[in-house]
Structure 1
Amino acid sequence: GHRDFIKNMITGTSQADCAILIIAAGTGEFEAGISKDGQTREHALLAYTLGVKQLIVAINKMDTTKWSEARFQEIIKETSNFIKKVGYNPKTVPFVPISGFNGDNMIDNSPNCPWYKGWEKETKTKTTGKTLLEAIDAIDPPSRPTDKPLRLPLQDVYKIGGIGTVPVGRVETGIIKSGMVVTFAPAGVTTEVKSVEMHHEQLVEGVPGDNVGFNVKNVSVKEIRRGNVAGDSKNDPPKGAESFNAQVIVLNHPGQVGAGYAPVLDCHTAHIACK
């Protein structure tokens, strides 16, 4: 959660289905995180704005509070208040007391907090559990729109010896497969997909939610970059537009916005200075 790495955090968060907010239970640490300029508050706000609608809260370093139930309840109350302001419904959020250092309540139920009856969340059905792993297993898979035109924002572009140019990113909508002719916007580059891989294994096709790498013909690493969006050239490829509707959030507002103000716009994996 370091200020210098917020850009990377935005890129990663824009590709996630669920966020785990790690909160330090230590005296002063929790309070600093949720203060007006605190990182905990900013991270929750970024996650919600970037479309991550499911949240798990892990309250860490509980061993430093001697597994105090009072401290755990105090943190739940305060955290519920601020995530509600951000847009999350606290009733849908599991709160899990953990010690990452000692492994308590991460995978197995810890004997150190006999008062802890477990977490519960109310989504379509009521789900309960004890550990962080169980909370992760209880994430509702979001809808995966395979029938829409392909949209794949690039996270990075690699040059791999003996293979060539390999863009990497998460399929948001549609399907990508070898043989498909893709167009990168706004670069205006069109090329054929030679192969699609995920975790070093060849895929017949990449579908929404898959983080894939795909090899493209006759395109140099210099022609495409992080933030470009790949689409199927034959099915409504992404194009430039005069204007579009957006949900916008302003962080570090200068007080007033006037001529010459040049903020950085973060949109999916792209980070662009604009006027």
Structure 2
Amino acid sequence: MGQLLRLATAGSVDDGKSTLVGRLLYDTKSVLADQLDAVHRASVDRGLATPDLSLLVDGLRSEREQGITIDVAYRYFATPRRSFVLADTPGHVQYTRNTVTGASTAQLAVLLVDARKGVVEQTRRHAAVLALLGVPRLVLAVNKIDLVDYHEQTFVLIAKDFTAHAAALGYQDADVLSVPVSALVGDNVVDRSDRTPWYQGPTLLEHLETVPAEEERPNAPFRFPVQYVIRPRTPEHPDYRGYAGQVAAGSVAAGDEVLVLPGGQRCRVDRVHTADGDVPRAVAGESVTVLLSEDVDIARGDLFAAVDRPPRLTDELDATVCWLADQPLRPGARVLVKHGTRTVHALVADLLARFDEQRLESTADPDSVRLNEIARVRVRTARPLAVDDYRACRRTGAFLVMDPVDGSTLAAGLVGSPLPLPGHARPAGRGEPVDGVGSS
């Protein structure tokens, strides 16, 4: 079986995302018999002549009652050529925060539009969020093509409109594919439709099976946030001291020299341990316990990094945020910043620019940032953080902004400027080398 592809769906309400995902599951025979029986029964109860495939995805009772997706629904399926992890994200503007969550690890996103409506406000908003998160490839699924009588010119105009918007967000033509589909009928989802002879491109599944799915930065420098310090203190392991976590980027092997941040100590890796015993090397995405040759004061929130390519240690971040809270963000707000396994108090010192994802314009020095708006901000942290630019390393370039009172999530933040925001980009200047640690 081929390489794993992580993908997400996005789009406006009623564009047919859940039906499209259900169609993919149904036509690839990835649905269990009892699930399919339940969908058939529910569809009959609703008076439908054909199965409502969206019920394969919308699992919450409130989702079925309202006919909308609220939560991120993860589905796993496979074909002989590739396996897939799919995040079906909500379309309603109220749940943009869930779209951010579902798309944060995607290698490709399928963005749906209704062929009768074309590119709408939420389409442009989701495209901006996907660009912000660095999703490298997009598929525009022009759904319900059957409801416009498979009209070629309708599809062409929508595809041109979206491609121009994606280009302004930094996407190349080769990274965007437009496909005319009918999720309800099945046109060009898994099987090629003879009702669109004018379309010569691949079906949606053909594209998903063949699109490159490169791992994120295969030559990325080593990054390992310490999640937990293991000290069993048992007779069998009197001197055991391990540092558990997940490799965020790069790889680590016994004998490697690593840098411990924020302290700046250099240490040698003695062993890389797993539940099945020691392993010679661990790579990004693997959860392991790292044992060092030296005894060093290390705690949860510290970061192991490559000595020759360290992150930047700084207490000031110029970052891009997608604001996800009802109350607006204003300069001077006191927040918590969760970066990796470290959480620190912080101050939002400046609002540098607010991005209008509809007009692709920015406003310098806004007085506030409101729900679902994207902005450039300057954040000062109470303690230094070891960060990378988001484009260089997603895991150490991303952070959450949280409410210091109740811990609720206020924003998703990315170090640097992943979007091509015009104007007003002042570099942060307080990052200092610490104990031989340089800027990256």
TM range (shorter): 0.5 to 0.7
Residue number in structure 2 paired with 1:259: 332
Match of 1:195 in 2: 274
Question: How many Å separate the matches in 2 of 1:249 and 1:68?
Answer: 40
TM-score, reference length from structure 1: 0.59
CA displacement at 1:182 relative to structure 2: 8.0
Distance 1:6 1:250, change over 3 A: closer
Change (3 A) 1:134 1:145: same
Q: In the superposition, relative to structure 1, how do residues 239 and 88 fare at CA in structure 2: closer, same or farther (>3 Å)?
A: closer
Compute the displacement of 1:43 (Å).
2.1
1:175 aligns with 2:251: yes
Structure 2 vs 1, CA of residues 259 and 78 (structure 1 numbering), >3 Å: closer, same or farther? same
Where do 1:98-247 residues align within 5 Å? 98-118=181-201, 130-136=202-208, 137-139=210-212, 141=214, 144-146=217-219, 148-151=220-223, 167=245, 170-171=248-249, 174-176=250-252, 193-195=272-274, 205-207=281-283, 210-214=284-288, 230-232=303-305, 240-243=313-316, 246=318
Aligned pair count reads: 234
1:19 aligns with 2:108: yes
C-alpha displacement of 1:76: 0.7
Q: Which has the higher contact order (CA 8 A, sep 6+)?
A: 1
TM-score in terms of structure 2 length: 0.40
1:117-173 Cα shifts (integer Å, max 9, x gaps): 22xxxxxxxxxxx12233231336377343x5312579x99xxxxxxx9755753xx
Please say if residues 282 and 288 of structure 2, whose CA atoms lie closer than 8 Å, have aligned partners that are also in contact. no
For 2:421, the equivalent position in structure 1 comes to none
**Offset, 1:196:** 8.2
What is residue 79 of structure 1 aligned with on the other side? 162
Question: Taking structure 1 as reference, are residues 187 and 134 closer, same or farther at Cα in structure 2, changes over 3 Å only?
Answer: farther
Show the counterpart of 2:100: 10
Q: CA deviation at 1:175?
A: 0.5
Amino acid in the other structure paired with 2:251: I
Q: Distance in 2 between matches of 1:251 and 1:167?
A: 28
1:50 aligns with 2:133: yes
Structure number with larger C-alpha Rg: 2
1:122 is matched with none
AA partner of residue 222 (structure 2)? L
1:248 to 2:320 alignment = yes
**Deviation string, structure 1 residues 33-76 (Cα, Å, up to 9, x no partner):** x22xx2x2222112222223332222233233333323212211
Measured after TM superposition, the shift of residue 271 of structure 1 is 0.9
Q: Distance in 2 between matches of 1:46 and 1:233?
A: 30
Structure 2 CA distance for aligned equivalents of residues 169 and 59 of structure 1: 38
Q: Is 1:96 aligned to residue 179 of structure 2?
A: yes
Q: 1:186 to 1:95 in 2, by over 3 A?
A: farther
SS at match of 1:248: strand
Q: Which amino acid aligns with 1:25?
A: D
Structure 2 residue 351 is the aligned partner of structure 1 residue 272? no
